[in-house]
Amino acid sequence: MMRIGHGYDVHAFEAGDHVIVGGVRIPAPVGVRAHSDGDVALHALCDALLGAAALGDIGRHFPDDDPAWSGADSIGLLARVLAGVHAAGWSVVNVDLTVVAERPRIGPHVEGMRARIAGALQVPVSAVNVKATTHEGIGALGRSEGIAAHAVALLEGR
C-alpha cells in the first residue's frame, strides 16, 4: 500500500542575518518570524509526512504555544515525525519540495539541503528533490515579505 501527503508552510521575514531552509543555514539580510527555527521546507515536509501517514499535522505534534518547541531545530522535529511515521508502519519512498522565495537565492544550497534531508529521513539522496521558484513579484512573497514551501511525500507500508 502507498500513500501520498502534501504540506505547506510560510513564514514572514523580520530583522536577522540568516534563514534556515532544508536544514541549511543561509546568510541573508533577514530572518524569519517563527516559534522554532522557522525552516519552512522542513515544516512543509513534516506536514506532508504526517498527512500521508494520517497522523495529523505539525501544529498538533509541536504546538507553537508550547515553550518546549521554542527555537527548536527542525531537523530534530523531522526526526521525531519520521519515528512516528515508522511506528505507524510506513517507510519513506521519496519526497519533493518546492521553496518559494524572491530572496535569498536557494539554488546554490539545494545539494546541501538534499543531503541534510536524506540523512534525517534515512533515505538515499536520490529519494529527495528540492527546487526553488520565485513569486514573480506578485503578492507578499513577491514583495520579499516572506518565504514559503510546498512538500509532497510518498510512503509505502512496511
Of 84, 97, 89, nearest in space to 133 by CA: 97
Alpha-carbon span 64 to 70, nearest angstrom: 8
pLDDT tens-digit readout, 24-36: 999 999 999 998 9
Q: What letter would DSSP give residue 15?
A: S
Indicate the domain borders of the chain.
2-157
- Neighbouring CB atoms inside 10 A of 64's CB total 11
Q: Span 2-157: which CATH code?
A: 3.30.1330.50
pLDDT tens-digit readout, 55-67: 999 999 999 899 8
Question: What string of pLDDT tens digits covers the 158 residues of the chain?
Answer: 999 999 999 999 999 999 999 999 999 999 999 989 999 999 999 999 999 999 999 999 999 899 888 888 999 999 999 999 999 999 999 999 999 999 999 999 999 999 999 999 999 999 999 999 999 999 999 999 999 999 999 999 97
What are the φ/ψ torsions at residue 72 (nearest 5 degrees)?
-60, 145
Percent of the chain topping pLDDT 70: 100
Cell, residue 4: 501520498
Q: What letter would DSSP give residue 61?
A: H
Write down the pTM of the prediction: 0.96
| Helix (H/G/I), strand (E/B), else coil: 59 | helix
